[in-house]
Amino acid sequence: MADALISRSFAPVRKRPAPRRLGWLFAYDWDRDALERLDRAGRARFDTAGFDLFSFPSNGALVRFDLERFAARQAERGRRLRWRGVLSHPAQFGALAASLIAERLGLPGTSPESILAAQHKLHARRVLERVAPEANVAFAPLEARYGGPIPEGLAYPTFVKPVKAAFSVLAREVADRDALHAHTRFGRRELWVIRRLVEPFDRVCRARLPEAGTAHRMLLESPVPPRFGQYNLDGWVHDGTVHALGVVDAVMYPGTQAFMRWEVPSRLPADAQSRALDLARRFLGAIGFRHGCFNLEFFHDDASGALTFIECNPRLASQFGDLYRRVRGVDAHAMGVALSLVEDPRTVPRTEPTAGAAASLVYRSFHGRPGRPAPTPAQRAAFAAAMPDGLLLSFPKRGHALARDHKWTGSHRYGIVHLGAADRDALRERTEAASALLGWPAPYLDDRGDRDAHEVPRAAGRPRTPAAAARPATPIGKMGPKQKPTKPLTQPPYTATFA
C-alpha cells in the first residue's frame, strides 16, 4: 500500500502542451474578430504586426513603409518566438509580406513569385491568355505615366484600372479620351498616396518577377455588356489539389460598379461553379500557387454560360468568412490557420449553421457626399440589442480622404453590416429593421428602386460586367491580348474538388 502511495506521489505530472505560435499580419476588422475568437478557443497563440491602412493614425506607417524591411524584421521575430506558421489576408501588403516571411523562415506558404503574378493585373492577364483565353478580355497597358498625355488611337468606351490596386480603386469605364484624361489626372496628395501604395509591391516585383514590368501604370481592358452577374469563388490549394469553399454573389448599386451586397447562398448554377473552379485550377497552376487560400472574381453569362475572369486574389476574402460560418458552419479563418500549420483544412470542425441566408451589406454615398452620420452610442446599443448576431463597422471620412474615396471608387463606403436570417425574405426584413435603427437606408435598391434614399447617381456609368461570348474579335484601339511572351511558368498537375 505504501509503495503504491509513493508511486502515485512521484508520478510525473503531464504538462499541457504550449499553444502553437503563429504570426498574423495586418489583422483588422474581420480578421481581428476572427483572431480574437480563435485565440479564445485555444486554436493557437497569435503574434500580430502591421497597420490599418484605412484608419488614422495607424495608416501613418505608410509614410516610411518598406515591405522587405518589414518582412525581415518579422522573420527575425518569428525565429525568436518559434512561429509555426505565418498568415495574412489583406490584399495590399499582407499576402506578399506573409509569403516573404514564410520563405525566410522555411515555413509553409506559397512563393512570393506566385503572389506577385496574381496581384500584378497585367501579368495575370498575360498568364490567363496562355491557359484560359476563352475567359479573358482584350487588354493592354496604358502607355502613359501617371498624369501623362493619353495616347491617340484608342477606341472607346474602355475600362481602366491600376496594374496594382485593391478594392476597385480607380477602376472605371470611360466613354472617351477626355474622360480617360480626367480620370488619370492626380493632385500632389493623390500621387503621394498612389506611389506609397504601389512602390513596396513594385520594388519586390522588380527583383522577383521582372518580366511582369512596372506596376506604376494603368491597365486598359475591353468593356463587356452590363447584363451578367458577378461572383466570387473562394477556396484553397493544399497538397496538389485546388478545393472550393463556396461561391458568394455580388449585387451592385444599379447603374454603378459599387458593391451593394454580397449574398450567401449563391444562385449560380452548380455547373458554372464547377467550371469556375477549373478556371481557378488552371490559373493558379500556371503561376505556381501551391499552398494557401484564394478568391477568384468572375462574371457569368446566364444565356451562354460563359465565364469571364476578373482577377484571382491569392489570399482569403476575409469579409466573406463570417457569411460561410453563418450559413454553412464552415470557419474559413480557422481553415486558413490550419493551412499555415500544414494541416488539412477539411479537418477543421464545423459548427451548426445559424442562418439559411446571410449578407454583407454595404452602405454608400454618391455625388461627393459624406454619407449618413456614424451611429451614436445609443444607436449602437439599440442595434446590439435587436441584432445580437449582427456585425457593424463604420468608416466615416471627411476632407481629402472623403474626396479621394469618391474620385477613386465613385462612392464613399461609410458602413458595413453583416446579418443572417432563415431565408432571403427574412434577411431583407432584418436588414430594413437594422438599417432603420442606424438611420441608414437599407441596401436593397435593386428591388425597391429608391434612388434618392441612397443618393445614387442617375446617370452613372454602367457597371463593368462580363461576357466572353461578346468579346470583340479584334483589339480595342491599341489593345489586344497578344503581348510579348513572358518566361514560361510551371503548371503542376493540380486536381480540383469541392469541400
Q: Strand, helix or coil at 203?
A: helix
| 325-340 pLDDT tens trace | 999 999 999 999 999 9
Q: Is the per-residue pLDDT at 466 higher than 50?
A: no
| 281-291 pLDDT tens trace | 999 999 999 99
Q: Which three cell numbers stand for residue 251?
A: 449585387
The number of angstroms, rounded, from the C-alpha of 286 to the middle of its chain's C-alpha atoms is 20
Beta-carbon-side half-sphere exposure of residue 410 (alpha carbons within 13 Å): 24
pTM of the model: 0.86
Tell me the average pLDDT of the chain: 86
For the chain, what is the radius of gyration of the CA atoms? 23
| 348-386 pLDDT tens trace | 999 999 999 999 999 999 988 888 999 999 999 999 999
Q: Which three cell numbers stand for residue 131?
A: 491557359
Helix (H) or strand (E) holding 487: none
Q: Using an 8 Å Cβ cutoff, are 418 and 391 in contact?
A: yes
| 404-425 pLDDT tens trace | 777 777 888 999 999 999 999 9
| 219-265 pLDDT tens trace | 999 988 878 899 999 999 998 899 999 999 999 999 888 899 999 99
- Please give the biggest Cα pair distance in the chain: 99
Residues 6+ apart with CB under 8 A from 13: none
The whole-number pLDDT of residue 470 equals: 35
Which residues on neighbouring strands pair with residue 391, listed in sequence order? 418
Phi-psi region of 213 (alpha: psi -120 to 50; beta: other; left: phi over 0): left
The whole-number pLDDT of residue 498 equals: 55
Q: Which three cell numbers stand for residue 97?
A: 509580406
The whole-number pLDDT of residue 178 equals: 93
| 191-221 pLDDT tens trace | 888 899 999 999 999 999 999 999 999 999 9
Q: Which three cell numbers stand for residue 21?
A: 505560435
Mean pLDDT confidence for 433-453: 80
Q: Is the per-residue pLDDT at 324 higher than 80?
A: yes
Q: Is the per-residue pLDDT at 111 higher than 80?
A: yes
In eight-state DSSP terms, residue 233 is E
Question: What is d(CA 169, CA 222) in angstroms, rounded to the nearest whole number?
Answer: 18
